């Protein structure tokens, strides 16, 4: 019998499922500290936790430990790298809390619209201020959902009964999937300008941090409402403070830089503040507990590893090729139009890499969306793309082409009006360095994809590269490396430049207009 330790307040369904399987002895105790329980149960095989910190000290105290399962999505409290060094698999249960968060969004919207919190306080105080609490209805209003992962999609479904006009933005979600959900896909600016309510469902990363800033807030309708049950860092609080004063915006919040007691800097601008209650429902707790138990059983009985978040690179595969697949996809996504809705992902894997083609879909998918972790497996990647309505094909390759140990990533996006844009990027690893060998019809590039890369395509004619260089110099940008080939027909040219810093979008736009570029962007690789 394998011992499972559950040192947290988790629904008892996990212990019941594991005990009924006949394979496990379960110890569940939320009354003692995890450190004390680890010392007492050193023979623990599997650990199921919620927000408890699983440190190297905890791991060392459990010499028989083989599996740690986070009953929930986030696993930043677990030292996954140290666990991997010790041969311990770490899993999470993504999606178990999605409905709870979606319902919280609706609850916040209704509570704000009908002044539920202040009206309750007033009435309990013996007052009868009915005139002061005139509310509004959300039925028939427009909601913009920024980020259409599992939670964003569920918000749309939960609001169907309110007959709201639903706008959405998420370049990963196909137009077909959006139509199935009754969502009209628009760009970010339209979403902010047209919505009465905006619900945020974004990860926090370098692209999204501070994304909700003065530019977008300035587009909002007076009196409109933002609901943030995503991440605190995606909102520029200073800009929100100014926009709220000017436009009387409403801000409903459930997320903070740290989940802890103490003063909150947004207290003066949040109309409703909750202590990160998104996943705090009986049902979400049960779902996460049930998933944790089932995943452990499937891992032991069937070898299913879909939700391991600290996987090793498969034996025999150089880690550089995983990084190559990730980098090729990030570059290809820009070339296909970051604003376009992704429709199709195709990969071609050559040479001795072919046996790893399924596994390589993992870094490809992770490069497309921050909602997908590189440590998941092929089945999880396929399921993730399917959820977004994106088709995937691993193409049969012709080894006679001689593309030894190369990877090609092809993406198709919809850019509006029924128009499609396709992009293709091929690369390899040479002497330990990643190399881009082809972008679309521009071949034999042999360009190392690192740092800030600027790319333009344009009709071939003399002097264009010089104009690009001059414009970058005027912006204080230095060029470190450059390629400037023609396509196979000699009609178009590619300017591919590594520069010493990020180039502002306004500079890219100005250069694109000046040289009449078909494509222009800057990406950090």
Question: How many angstroms separate the Cα of 11 from the Cα of each of 24, 75, 285?
Answer: 17, 19, 6
**What pLDDT score does 417 carry?**
64
pLDDT in tens, 444-490: 899 999 999 999 999 999 999 999 999 999 999 999 999 999 887 87
Q: Are strands 406-414 and 442-447 parallel, antiparallel or unpaired?
A: unpaired
Residue 58, φ and ψ in degrees, nearest 5: -65, -45
Q: How many angstroms separate the first and last alpha carbons of the chain? A: 48
Distance CA(102)–CA(364), nearest Å, equals 28
pLDDT higher than threshold 80 for residue 356: yes
Distance CA(364)–CA(342), nearest Å, equals 13
**What pLDDT score does 121 carry?**
96
Q: What is the mean pLDDT of the chain?
A: 91
Distance CA(334)–CA(328), nearest Å, equals 10
Least confident of 33-42, 248-257, 333-342, 412-421: 412-421
**What pLDDT score does 418 carry?**
67
Residue, of 306 and 148, whose pLDDT is higher: 148
Distance CA(464)–CA(518), nearest Å, equals 13
Q: What is the mean pLDDT of the segment spanning 430-447?
A: 90
For helices 357-368 and 319-335, give the axis angle rounded to 10 degrees.
50
**What pLDDT score does 311 carry?**
77
Distance CA(284)–CA(72), nearest Å, equals 9
pLDDT in tens, 111-124: 999 999 999 999 99
DSSP-assigned letter for residue 146: E
**What pLDDT score does 110 carry?**
97
Report the DSSP beta bridge partners of residue 227.
Answer: 199, 252
**Best CA proximity match to 334, nearest among 160, 114, 508, 136:** 508
Residue 412, φ and ψ in degrees, nearest 5: -120, 125
Give SS3 for 241.
helix
Distance CA(353)–CA(319), nearest Å, equals 11
**What pLDDT score does 414 carry?**
83
Distance CA(224)–CA(241), nearest Å, equals 14
Q: Look up residue 157 and give its two tokens.
A: 């479904």
Integer Rg of the chain from CA: 26
Distance CA(201)–CA(148), nearest Å, equals 7
139 burial (CB, 10 Å; 0-12 / 13-18 / 19+) is exposed
Question: How many angstroms separate the Cα of 17 from the Cα of each of 20, 401, 521?
Answer: 5, 53, 52
Query: Residue ranges of the alpha helices (H) in 201-281?
Result: 214-217, 237-247
Distance CA(428)–CA(202), nearest Å, equals 32
pLDDT in tens, 304-354: 877 888 876 777 788 889 899 999 999 999 998 877 788 899 999 998 888
Residue 153, φ and ψ in degrees, nearest 5: -65, -40
Report the DSSP beta bridge partners of residue 166.
Answer: 143
Distance CA(425)–CA(364), nearest Å, equals 12
Q: What is the mean pLDDT of the segment spanning 225-239?
A: 95
pLDDT in tens, 171-193: 888 877 888 889 999 999 999 99
Q: What is the mean pLDDT of the segment spanning 268-291?
A: 93
444 burial (CB, 10 Å; 0-12 / 13-18 / 19+) is exposed
Domains of the chain: 2-96+282-302 (3.40.50.720), 98-273 (3.40.50.720), 313-449 (3.30.1330.90), 450-525 (3.30.70.260)
pLDDT higher than threshold 90 for residue 516: yes
DSSP-assigned letter for residue 350: -
**What pLDDT score does 513 carry?**
94
The continuous run of DSSP H or E covering 137 comes out as: none
pLDDT higher than threshold 80 for residue 74: no
Residue 391, φ and ψ in degrees, nearest 5: -80, 145
**Best CA proximity match to 455, nearest among 433, 429, 481:** 481
Distance CA(77)–CA(55), nearest Å, equals 8
Q: What is the mean pLDDT of the segment spanning 32-52?
A: 94
Distant-in-sequence, close-in-space partners of 77: CB < 8 Å, separation ≥ 6: 49, 51, 52, 53, 54, 70
Highest mean pLDDT among 25-39, 307-321, 376-390: 25-39
Torsion angle of alpha carbons 335, 336, 342, 345, nearest 10°? -80
Residue linked to tokens 């793309």 = 385
């Amino acid at each position: 019998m394998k011992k499972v330790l559950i040192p947290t307040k988790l629904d008892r369904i996990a212990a019941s499922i594991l005990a009924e399987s006949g394979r496990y002895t379960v110890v569940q105790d939320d009354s003692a500290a995890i450190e004390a329980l680890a010392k007492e149960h050193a023979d623990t095989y599997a650990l199921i936790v919620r927000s408890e910190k699983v440190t190297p000290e905890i791991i060392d105290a459990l010499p028989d430990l083989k599996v740690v399962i986070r009953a929930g999505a986030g696993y930043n409290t677990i030292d996954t790298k140290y666990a991997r060094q010790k041969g311990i698999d770490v899993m999470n249960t993504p999606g178990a809390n999605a409905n709870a968060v979606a319902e919280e969004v609706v609850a916040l919207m209704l509570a704000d619209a009908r002044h539920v919190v202040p009206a309750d306080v007033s009435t309990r105080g013996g007052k009868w201020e009915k005139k002061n609490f005139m509310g509004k209805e959300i039925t028939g209003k427009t909601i913009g959902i920024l980020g259409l992962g599992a939670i964003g999609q569920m918000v749309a479904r939960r609001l169907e009964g309110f007959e709201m006009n639903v706008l959405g933005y998420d370049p990963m979600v196909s137009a077909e999937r959006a139509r199935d959900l009754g969502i009209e896909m628009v760009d970010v600016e339209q979403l902010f300008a047209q919505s009465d309510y905006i619900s945020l469902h974004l990860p926090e990363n370098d692209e999204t941090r501070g994304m909700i800033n003065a530019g977008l807030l300035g587009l909002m309708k007076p009196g409109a409402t933002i609901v943030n049950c995503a991440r605190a860092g995606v909102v520029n609080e200073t800009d929100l403070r100014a926009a709220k004063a000017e436009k009387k915006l409403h801000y409903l919040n459930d997320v903070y830089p740290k989940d802890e007691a103490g003063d909150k800097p947004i207290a003066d601008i949040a109309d409703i503040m909750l202590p990160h209650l998104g996943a705090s429902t009986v049902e979400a707790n049960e779902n996460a507990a049930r998933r944790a138990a089932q995943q452990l059983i499937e891992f032991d009985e069937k070898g299913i590893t879909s939700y391991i978040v600290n996987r090793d690179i498969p034996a025999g595969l150089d880690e550089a090729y995983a990084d190559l697949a990730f980098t090729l996809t990030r570059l290809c996504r820009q070339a296909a139009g970051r604003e376009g809705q992704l429709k199709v992902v195709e990969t071609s894997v050559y040479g001795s890499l072919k046996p790893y083609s399924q596994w390589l879909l993992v870094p490809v998918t992770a490069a497309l969306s921050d909602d997908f972790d590189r440590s998941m497996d092929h089945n999880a990647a396929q399921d993730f793309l399917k959820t977004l309505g994106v088709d995937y094909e691993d193409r049969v390759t012709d080894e006679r082409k001689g593309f030894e140990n190369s990877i090609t990533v092809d993406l198709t996006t919809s850019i509006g009006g029924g128009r499609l844009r396709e992009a293709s990027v091929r690369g390899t690893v040479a002497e330990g360095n990643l190399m881009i060998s082809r972008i679309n019809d521009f071949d034999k590039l042999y360009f190392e994809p690192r740092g800030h890369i600027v790319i333009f395509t344009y009709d071939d004619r003399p002097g264009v590269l010089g104009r690009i260089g001059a414009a970058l110099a005027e912006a204080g940008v230095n060029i470190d490396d450059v390629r400037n080939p023609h396509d196979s027909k000699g009609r178009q040219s590619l300017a591919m430049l590594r520069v010493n810093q990020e180039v502002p979008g306004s500079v890219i736009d100005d250069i694109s207009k000046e040289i009449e570029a078909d494509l222009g962007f800057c990406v950090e690789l």
